[in-house]
Amino acid sequence: MSHMGKARGYETLFHRHATNPILTAEDWPYPAHSVFNPAATRLSDGTTLLLCRVEDRRGHSHLCAARSQNGVDGWTIDEEPTMRPEPERYPEELWGIEDPRITFVEELGKYAIAYTAFSKGGPGVALALTDDFRRFERLGLVMQPDDKDAALLPRRIDGSFALLHRPMADSGAHVWISYSPDLRNWGGHKLILPARKGSWWDANKVGMSPPPIETARGWLMIYHGVRNTASGSLYRLGLALFALDRPEQCLLRGDSWIFGPEAPYEREGDVPNVAFPCGYTLGADGDTINLYYGGADSCVALATGSIRQLLGWLDEHGVAS
């Protein structure tokens, strides 16, 4: 443990914020057990909005918005849950709603939230639209269980909306893309990023973490990879790049993980050894990425990187797959 937090000779691509964790259940205006895995977006007035997953003592989650001018501190947290499960109308939300990802969809002039709806049948992917993060229009379950880690691309590809998601199958847990004309009917499913098996850091499961980042060179995906070990799962992050006009085509996939649980708030908590981002915002320079993530399923933390540097790393450490 003496090396904890050191880069051990590897390039440091994401820098943890000095005041991490930036949000915990202790900051909450109402009873909450844990706050983690937030979606993130920058509103038109520059406010950073985090849509946090809040777990209560039943074990069920809902979503709650926290707003800040600088994205680091001075958070204003909604006095009550912002988006509660509605199992009476949406039975797929019986056991809560989790892990949101936000995409602003220009064509709709609205934010699309892809989230995990936890039903008796398992976790599936649900979609909702909003323009103010106060009222939400649900589109219901779009991918049946088991499926999670979903986000919508911000615009149509060849006339269709595109959703990245992670169904579970006997063959493993891989990232897929699906297409839709109307956000309700989905098809054209394709596997785009498989778990790597064997001794790889991302051998046992992969899933998209925040929504893909649009760059001039392609959709940059920060994904989580899971390795099962004798003492539990290890959640770490890797990089892949997909073609802008053909997001099912993987241009580059990095070999090594670039960020993993090292700080105490990532190492210790309800689920140890988890760093799990669901959102990012971009700095005014268009290059700085503020990555918001859950630490050990217990708190919200922030790490900052540079898109240029991430792409440079992929050039050196990535191969087409």
The footprint of ligand BMA (CB under 6 A) covers: 37, 98-99, 235, 271, 274, 276, 294, 297
Residue nearer to ligand BMA on the CB measure, 294 or 318 = 294
Query: Residue 307: left (phi > 0), alpha (psi -120 to 50), or beta?
Result: alpha
Residue nearer to ligand BMA on the CB measure, 82 or 204 = 204
Min dist. Cβ of residue 38 to ligand BMA (A):
11
First vs last C-alpha separation in the chain: 35
Residue nearer to ligand BMA on the CB measure, 111 or 115 = 115
Min dist. Cβ of residue 98 to ligand BMA (A):
6
Closest-approach residue to ligand BMA (CB): 271
Distances (CA, A) of 299 to 24, 227, 270, 289, 310: 5, 22, 10, 20, 25
Structure tokens at 44: 């038109």
Which of 315, 231, 243 lies closest to 267, judged by CA? Answer: 231
Min dist. Cβ of residue 215 to ligand BMA (A):
26
Residue nearer to ligand BMA on the CB measure, 71 or 96 = 96
Residue nearer to ligand BMA on the CB measure, 12 or 228 = 228
Can you spell out the DSSP letters for 78-91? Answer: -SS-SB---TTT-G
Min dist. Cβ of residue 224 to ligand BMA (A):
8
Helix (H, G, I), strand (E, B) or coil at 13: coil
* Those residues with Cβ within 8 angstroms of residue 103's Cβ, 6 or more apart along the chain or in another chain: 111, 112, 114, 151, 152, 153, 154, 211
Min dist. Cβ of residue 229 to ligand BMA (A):
14
Tokens 């009222």 correspond to: 135
Residues 125 and 100: their CA atoms lie apart, in Å, by 10
Min dist. Cβ of residue 109 to ligand BMA (A):
30
Residues 146 and 131: their CA atoms lie apart, in Å, by 29
Distances (CA, A) of 167 to 81, 90, 194, 243: 28, 20, 11, 22
Min dist. Cβ of residue 85 to ligand BMA (A):
15
Residue nearer to ligand BMA on the CB measure, 277 or 305 = 277
Residue nearer to ligand BMA on the CB measure, 20 or 37 = 37
- Residues paired with residue 103 on neighbouring β-strands, in sequence order: 112
Min dist. Cβ of residue 269 to ligand BMA (A):
10
Residue nearer to ligand BMA on the CB measure, 64 or 314 = 64
Residues 273 and 193: their CA atoms lie apart, in Å, by 23
Which of 78, 70, 66 lies closest to 38, judged by CA? Answer: 66
Min dist. Cβ of residue 294 to ligand BMA (A):
5
Rg (CA), the chain: 18
CB-based contact 36:52 (threshold 8 Å): yes
Residue nearer to ligand BMA on the CB measure, 113 or 252 = 113
